[in-house]
Amino acid sequence: MIAPGFTGGTLDRADALRHDEAGLAALTSDWRSRLLRLDGFDPVLMGDGTLGWTTLADVPEGAELVLLGLDEAGRGHFAAYIPGMRAPPGRSPRLFGLLGQFAPGEAATYAAARSVLDWHSRHQYCANCGTQTALFRAGWGRRCPNCKAEHFPRVDPVVIMIAEHDGRALLGRQPAFPPGRYSALAGFLEPGESIEEAVAREIMEEAGVRVRDVRYIASQPWPFPSSLMVACVGMAENDTITLDTNELEDAIWVSREDVRTVLAGGDGPFLPPPAYAIAFTLLTAWAETE
Amino acid sequence: MIAPGFTGGTLDRADALRHDEAGLAALTSDWRSRLLRLDGFDPVLMGDGTLGWTTLADVPEGAELVLLGLDEAGRGHFAAYIPGMRAPPGRSPRLFGLLGQFAPGEAATYAAARSVLDWHSRHQYCANCGTQTALFRAGWGRRCPNCKAEHFPRVDPVVIMIAEHDGRALLGRQPAFPPGRYSALAGFLEPGESIEEAVAREIMEEAGVRVRDVRYIASQPWPFPSSLMVACVGMAENDTITLDTNELEDAIWVSREDVRTVLAGGDGPFLPPPAYAIAFTLLTAWAETE
């Protein structure tokens, strides 16, 4: 299977260092330590698709550091949370262009940094008592000075799936998609359900199709802002679509041959998702099986 | 595969009703609607292991309603969030006793209710600006009257896994476990990593064992307070354990024969996890494969 987008990061997250004040202080005073270059929340990419880095000398006044991890040489890699920074709503066409240009593994490092910085930007206050919180654990949490509650970055599981019936896959089209694009259905997993149950519920809600025998295919982080995409295939009991038009503009059944053709760049009944999206991985895996 | 604990719920979550004020009002004024009986955050079980329900006439003063879903007869099923309710830290032996007594599917309904009520109890304030928020979407979210931020119940993905080497499985023992208990290793998935990457990182951190070829086995909700347990098996490169004694008290390699024996209630080198924990499902699935 092709590696899903935003996976393959090479930094060691060094969890133990997050709890080790002396070790962390040694890293932040080490001239070899590196600071991730960002343009707001967007990555700064070198010509070869690697992430841009600078030194801790460039940490802005008032910023706080998030330890992303260590490289093989033991160098600390950090991102800076700058108070007041805020990701724009939606994603710019420029960002989408950059997502296709990452060298292998680099998008994973960016995904971790973006998700955690975005979380800090929207979680400055204690959800339990309303007091302003402070960063702790080298940026992998915030603590309330009043009620002592500890808060950790969110990871929101999202199921993304195709229903299969008679050798064809169900794809849907959201109104915001580029013209011609169809992709796997998707939705947030809710408290009190398994991955398999969320898959069945979402396909029923969005397309009115009942599935059984849900099988897991792959997963990826999706840092807009903090999803874990869990890709699955479910076997549909029939192919009658009842569309929820609040969610989808259209839904179609496509053959393996069609999927293979459009993934290879040929003309077909739809334009496929981009290679960094796990829907691409999912469709590729499905098209390769019989 | 045996169904994981806390799965198999029979209520239709009726997502569309959460956005439908008139439909929701009709349900809350319908004398057939049911209110989940709870003892604090613990379930109230009937003799046959089904959940106890009462009518909306028993909603306490000042409480807010969470729509759990509809049954096949279209009756609304609700849980009441009572301001100030707070789950005790840790889980009582009494609660653990009850968890083994649920009729099939009933624990899933309880899991959804418990996770969402617990979330409300700890998220009364806006993480973005510190203002007190208000329940919306029939209890499946909170909204800030000041900054308009919308907040949704957390689901925290946790990877739980065994490493396999030469036909044996790696199990660990946390200090808080009952005497003799060993189980799969586990840890929270972090922003910026896939399920497979989190599995490899956690086994390396806790036991110093490197794994590859991680495969997904099953998932379950775990409502203490809001985890999604994702069970996997990874193939270990070697069997040398380097224990992180901050996380584990001990770790051992056990054979399929040993696992089969203890799961069947026989004497063996460890006491297994309870049947409602996905570690039980995982060990059962692993012991049945060759």
Residue A76 shares a structural domain with residue A167:
no
Q: Is residue B168 part of a domain?
A: yes
Q: What is the pLDDT of residue B134?
A: 98
pLDDT, mean of residues A3-25:
96
In a domain, B5, yes or no: no
pLDDT of residue A91: 77
Chain A residues touching residue B127 (CB < 8 angstroms): 122-127, 151
Asked if B128 lies within 8 A of A125 by C-beta distance, the reply is: yes
The answer on B278 and B160 residing in a single domain is yes
Give a yes or no: residue A9 inside a domain: no
pTM over 0.80: yes
Q: Which residues contact B29 (CB under 8 A, 6 or more apart)?
A: none
Q: Looking at the structure, do residues A113 and A190 belong to the same domain, yes or no?
A: no
Collapsing DSSP to helix, strand or coil, A230 comes out as strand
Q: Is the pLDDT at A1 greater than 90, yes or no?
A: no
Average pLDDT value for residue range A43-60: 97
A2 occurs within a structural domain: no
Pairing of strands B76-81, B34-36: parallel
pLDDT computed for residue A142 by the predictor: 98
Give residue-wise pLDDT tens across range B89-127: 877 788 989 999 999 999 999 999 999 999 999 999 999
- In the three-class reduction of DSSP (H, G, I as helix; E, B as strand; rest coil), residue A68 is classed as strand
Instruction: Give me the residue from A7, A132, A154 closest to B197, CB to CB.
Output: A7
Q: Are B173 and B278 members of one domain?
A: yes
pLDDT tens digits, B141-155: 999 999 999 999 999
**Contact check, Cβ <8 Å, A192/B112:** yes
Taking the CA of residue B29 and the nearest CA in chain A, the distance in Å comes to: 25
**Largest interatomic CA distance in chain A:** 63
Contact B157 A157 (CB under 8 A): yes
CATH of the domain at A19: 3.90.79.20
For residue A13, the chain B residues in CB contact (below 8 A) are 190, 201
- CA nearest neighbour of A205 among A164, A251, A272: A251
Q: Mutation test of the interface with chain A: which of B68, B116, B126, B190, choosing the one with the most A Cβ atoms within 10 A?
A: B190
Does residue B280 sit in the same domain as residue B199? yes
Please say which residue of A151, A180, A199 terminates a domain: A151
pLDDT greater than 90 at residue B67: yes
Its domain, for residue A171, covers: 156-288
The nearest alpha carbon in chain B to A223 belongs to B192
The partner residue sitting opposite B132, judged by closest CB among A130, A192, A205, is: A130
Task: Express each pLDDT in A101-144 by its tens digit.
Answer: 999 999 999 999 999 999 999 999 999 999 999 999 999 999 99
Q: Is residue A7 in a domain?
A: no
B72 touches B14 (CB < 8 A)? no
Give me B143's structure tokens.
């909204």
Count Cβ–Cβ pairs < 8 Å, chain A vs chain B. Answer: 165
Q: Which candidate from A155, A194, A205 shows the least CB-CB separation from B189?
A: A155
d(CA B218, CA B230): 6
Q: Which residue has the tokens 């099953």?
A: B218
- Please report, for the domain that includes residue B268, its CATH number: 3.90.79.10
Closest approach of B222 to chain A, Cα-based (Å): 7
Q: Do A27 and A76 fall into the same domain?
A: yes
Same domain (yes/no): A195, A278: yes
Residue of B nearest to A229 (CA): B194
| Count of domains forming chain A | 2
DSSP line for A114-140: HHHHHHHHH--B-TTT-PBPEEEGGGT
CA distance B67 to B43: 17
Of residues B114, B125, B201, nearest to A127 (C-beta): B125
CA dihedral B44, B45, B51, B56 (to 10 degrees): -40
The neighbouring-strand residues paired with A185 are A161
> Is residue A87 included in any domain, yes or no?
yes
Contacts of A221 in chain B (CB under 8 A): 191-194
- Give the pLDDT score at B81: 97
My answer on whether B128 and B198 are in the same domain is no
Residues B111 and B163 in one domain: no
* CA dihedral for A23, A24, A30, A32, sign (positive or negative): positive
B189/B164 same-domain check: yes
In this predicted structure, the answer to whether residue B2 has a pLDDT above a threshold of 90 is no
Domain edge (last residue) among A128, A151, A174: A151
Distance of CA A74 to CAs A33, A146, B62, Å? 9, 36, 56
A6 falls within a domain: no
CB spacing of A124 vs B126 below 8 angstroms: no
Residue at which a domain ends, from B151, B181, B215: B151
Same domain, B119 and B180: no
Regarding whether A36 and A59 lie in a shared domain, the answer is yes
**Is pLDDT above 90 for A154?**
yes
A172-219: per-residue pLDDT in tens?
Answer: 999 999 999 999 999 999 999 999 999 999 999 999 999 999 999 999
